[in-house]
Amino acid sequence: MAPGIVIEIEKGNRKEGAHLVLAKSSDVSHQFFRFKKSDDYYIIETFQNTGNVIDVLYSKMVNENKIQMHSFNGTNAQKFKLIDAGEGYISILSSIDHNFCLDVTHSGTKPGTKIWLYSRNNTSAQQFKLIGKNYLSQSIKYAEKFCLNRNPEYESKEDNSTNFCSQCLIAGGVDPDPIWKKGEDAFNKGIAKTLYNGIDYEYWDLKKLDVDEVKAKYSVKSEKVLLFVGRMEEQKNPIYALQITNEIHKRIPDILLFMVGDGSLLESARKYANDNRMNEYIKFLPANSDIRELQSISDIMIAPSLWEGLSIAYIEAQKMKTMVFSSDQVPYEVDMGYCKHYPLGEPNTWINGICDYLSEKSRDITLENPQRFDIKETSNKLL
């Protein structure tokens, strides 16, 4: 094959029956394959979709038969013999009939050229070179690329943290399912236990602050206070928070929103506030603001993240008895009694829920299992 040309699952197609084709090397998961020994043969696993392997269509040994991606079934159509073709190259023979092997259609070199089955003729179209990859580096590259911007190829799931870890493992050529299965078995047997990421409960204590002094510091009088804390980036969804607040203000004029954070969307957020005449009841504060003080005077915290791990900021807010209104993309495990999860596609649900809460005269809510996020409890479990 020509320099810089490799074999891939065509355009990253994740469905059974996808073609093998030539492509420009771009270090994507659908260009990685694992050769797994099975007796005297090899099963060629795909990285982009675990459980799928390279397969000869219908096991037919005829020229120009399709080579495809297919779910593993253990048949000989999915087993291949590797033989030395000289000068560092190999030929990939079918285990069904060694007279047939993988072949580049018409000895093509252009991206998109299909790989098919053909009788052996010892031409360069049937000779391939295996190039080992640093799989750890592939996982790191994937994590760096998608840690702030969700990969649209993967559907969003309730536990997005575990989902993201799985994607990183797949990018590095590791099947995550056996790993999670071992972890699940360990929990079932009592070998492993959940260890929560803790916070300093003594520091995050409402009684440690003079709320009246803090209100005076931030010029808060009788307003209902809303708080947004986070990077002004797509993930944190700051414009959505402003849109929700704009509608809330139409029902409850006496409100004040603190937008805390810096980032690439800060100017867009300021522009939205200005265009919608919200500046009188919005204050933009830098990322190094005293979050504990702000939480102590806030009625609610708005957290409409597009995706999120288990946010410590949500735990801190609830410990300060600030109700958190969170998107349903945040793990439900963060709820300590002061957290409500709403779908991002239902803005009226957010508006109604927040307005109802702000209108309540009594908010006597008890924290549920409050000690689970206490750093002292977490530390004791490690001793």
Place of tokens 């009088």: 221
Domain ranges of the chain: 5-126, 135-188, 206-382
- CA–CA dist 61, 20 (Å, integer): 17
Average predicted confidence (pLDDT) for the chain: 88
- Taking 90 as the threshold, does the pLDDT of residue 368 lie above it? no
pLDDT value at position 56? Answer: 98
Closest among 88, 87, 83 to 102, alpha carbons compared:
83
Per-residue pLDDT averaged across 153-164, rounded? Answer: 62
- Label the pairing between strands 255-260 and 224-229: parallel
H helix or E strand, kind and range, residue 140 = helix 135-146
Q: What are the residues whose beta carbons fall under 8 Å from the beta carbon of 194, sequence distance 6 or more?
A: 187
Q: What is the DSSP letter of 345?
A: T
pLDDT tens for each residue of 206-260? 999 999 999 999 999 999 999 999 999 999 999 999 999 999 999 999 999 999 9
Q: What is the pLDDT of residue 43?
A: 96
Q: What pLDDT is stored for residue 49 in this prediction?
A: 53
| Length reported for the chain | 383
Q: Does 148 score more than 70 pLDDT?
A: no
SS3 assignment, position 283:
strand
CA distance 59 to 38: 18
52 vs 50: CA distance, rounded Å: 5
Q: Give the pLDDT of residue 149.
A: 65
Q: pTM for the complete prediction? A: 0.58
Residue 303 pLDDT > 80: yes
Backbone angles phi, psi at 6, to 5 degrees: -135, 175
Query: Given a cut of 60, is residue 48 above it in pLDDT?
Result: no
Q: 206-382: CATH homologous superfamily?
A: Glycogen Phosphorylase B; (3.40.50.2000)
Q: Retrieve residue 244's tokens.
A: 């929700």
With contact defined as beta carbons under 8 Å apart, do 90 and 82 qualify? yes
The model's pLDDT over 308-336, given as tens digits with 9 standing for 90+, comes to: 878 889 999 999 999 999 999 888 888 88
Quick one: pLDDT at residue 183? 74
- What is the per-residue DSSP string for 144-181? HHHSSS--TTS---S-HHHHHHHHHHHHTT--HHHHHH
pLDDT confidence of residue 185: 81
Angle at 302 between CA 298 and CA 305, to 5 degrees: 150
Give kind and range of the element (H or E) at residue 271: helix 266-275
- Specify the pLDDT at position 29: 78
CATH of domain 5-126: 2.80.10.50
Give the per-residue pLDDT at 76: 96
So what's the pLDDT on residue 13? Answer: 87
* pLDDT for 160 beyond 80: no
Q: How confident is the model at residue 89 (pLDDT cuts 50, 70, 90)?
A: very high
Q: What is the pLDDT of residues 4-39, one digit of tens each?
A: 899 999 988 888 999 999 999 887 778 889 898 988
pLDDT band at 135 (very low <50, low <70, confident <90, very high): low
- Name the residue type at position 205: D
| pLDDT value of residue 112 | 95
